[in-house]
């Protein structure tokens, strides 16, 4: 069964354009000009029940906009969404009872009242019976070690303590699908590990489907068998983490230091026809990312070294963080990593 089914989903925003200068401001008064921003651009993916899927991308790639559509906060411009069998923005009241949401940077708990009182309010919002609530709460208190926190006001909790309470709050109604947006942001490594362990065990025990947005690749490594990577509103990778590493992990970066200034286009021209991505630190230092064995290292080296005045060359092995960074960086990676 599919937990999340997204087809050709697009979201556009209208953003006001401010014209320059006094004249521009005056013109703006009479006739506003708008720019259209496509935050999510024709994406499709399916997530089966029980999967933990990482949803990653640079700032502004369109992750939050997708999550907002999946949780019914935003209405799509076009395309189809089914989550838990519901169209999120249409049947909100029934729909929200089956999902849990944690936004790491915002709280769903009331700031000034005790944690337990927030939980009780949420029980009513989600219409959970007293009996179900009690057994669920007992389990969460034990697993997330909340006993000492329940009577404290949220504003007096540390970030890690608050995050454990946020997780509990989002799970009180035992949702089938949980959306986690940066759940470990700002936490120390011990709390991060505890939260990852908790999520893993919850997923195994209840087959909870989790869509996890994060900039922390260790979250992904610890939890996700699959990653969907977004760039500029489009899905640029959807597949296993291992495949991503295998395919791109073979890549290497070559750093050239030149004895005289070089132009980026000249370097790109040298490797024309090869699947590589150049970037420049300054006119004397340039890097080239050689993603796979297809465009082989020695070919790139010989083309550059044969022509350019070289001061130094370094070859750098990469880890997953680097791989992902490189994929984001080189717009040219688009289309090359479809598996």
Nearest-approach distance from CB 339 to ligand ATP, in angstroms: 22
Residue 62 in the binding site for ligand ATP (CB under 6 A): yes
Which parts of the chain fold into alpha helices (H)?
21-30, 63-70, 92-96, 115-125, 130-143, 159-171, 189-206, 217-223, 241-249, 264-270, 297-305, 320-329
Q: What angle do CA 77, 92, 97 make, to 5 degrees?
A: 135
- Between the CA of residue 280 and those of 265, 277, 314, what are the distances in Å? 10, 10, 14
User: What distance in Å separates the CA atoms of residue 76 and residue 43, rounded to the nearest whole number?
Assistant: 12
User: What distance in Å separates the CA atoms of residue 312 and residue 309, rounded to the nearest whole number?
Assistant: 9
- Residue count, binding to ligand ATP (CB under 6 A): 12
Q: Which residue, 51 or 182, has its beta carbon nearer to ligand ATP?
A: 182
Classify residue 289 as left (phi > 0), alpha (psi -120 to 50) or beta: beta
Nearest-approach distance from CB 37 to ligand ATP, in angstroms: 5
Residue 45 in the binding site for ligand ATP (CB under 6 A): no
Residue 65 in the binding site for ligand ATP (CB under 6 A): yes
Stretch that binds ligand ATP, among 2-10, 60-68, 140-148, 185-193 (CB under 6 A): 60-68
Stretch that binds ligand ATP, among 54-62, 169-177, 308-316, 321-329 (CB under 6 A): 54-62
Residue 75 in the binding site for ligand ATP (CB under 6 A): no
- Between the CA of residue 314 and those of 56, 225, 258, 308, 311, what are the distances in Å? 30, 33, 12, 15, 11
Residue 13 in the binding site for ligand ATP (CB under 6 A): yes
Q: Which 21-40 positions form the footprint of ligand ATP (CB under 6 A)?
A: 37, 39
Nearest-approach distance from CB 67 to ligand ATP, in angstroms: 8
Nearest-approach distance from CB 182 to ligand ATP, in angstroms: 8
| Residue whose entry in the numeric block shows the structure tokens 């500029």 | 232
Nearest-approach distance from CB 274 to ligand ATP, in angstroms: 31
What is the binding site for ligand ATP (CB under 6 A)?
A: 13, 15, 37, 39, 57, 59-65
């Amino acid at each position: 069964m599919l937990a999340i089914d997204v087809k050709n989903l697009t979201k556009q925003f209208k953003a006001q354009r401010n014209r320059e200068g006094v004249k521009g401001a005056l013109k703006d008064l009479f006739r506003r000009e708008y720019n259209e921003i496509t935050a999510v651009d024709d994406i499709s993916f399916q997530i089966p029940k029980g999967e933990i899927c990482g949803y990653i991308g640079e700032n502004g790639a369109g992750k939050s906009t997708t999550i907002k559509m999946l949780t019914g906060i935003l209405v799509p411009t076009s395309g189809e969404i089914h989550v838990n069998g519901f169209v999120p923005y249409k049947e909100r009241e029934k729909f929200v009872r089956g999902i849990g949401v944690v936004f790491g940077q915002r709280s769903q708990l009331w700031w000034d009242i005790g944690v337990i009182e927030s939980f009780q309010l949420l029980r009513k919002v989600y219409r959970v019976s007293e009996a179900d609530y009690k057994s669920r709460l007992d389990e969460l208190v034990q697993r997330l070690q909340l006993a000492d926190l329940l009577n404290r006001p949220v504003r007096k909790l540390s970030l890690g303590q608050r995050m454990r309470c946020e997780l509990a709050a989002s799970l009180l109604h035992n949702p089938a699908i949980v959306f986690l947006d940066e759940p470990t942001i700002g936490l120390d490594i011990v709390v991060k590990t505890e939260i990852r362990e908790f999520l893993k065990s919850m997923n195994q025990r209840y087959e909870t489907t989790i869509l996890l947005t994060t900039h922390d690749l260790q979250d992904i490594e610890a939890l996700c068998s699959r990653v969907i990577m977004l760039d500029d509103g489009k899905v640029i990778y959807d597949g296993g983490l291992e495949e991503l590493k295998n395919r791109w992990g073979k890549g290497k970066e070559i750093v050239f230091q030149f004895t005289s200034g070089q132009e980026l286009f000249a370097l790109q021209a040298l490797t024309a026809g090869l699947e590589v991505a150049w970037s420049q630190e300054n006119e004397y230092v340039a890097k080239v990312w050689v993603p796979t064995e297809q465009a082989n290292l020695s070919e790139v080296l010989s083309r550059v070294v044969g022509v350019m005045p070289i001061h130094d060359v370094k070859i750098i092995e990469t880890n997953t963080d680097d791989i992902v960074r490189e994929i984001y960086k080189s717009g040219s990676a688009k289309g090359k990593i479809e598996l």
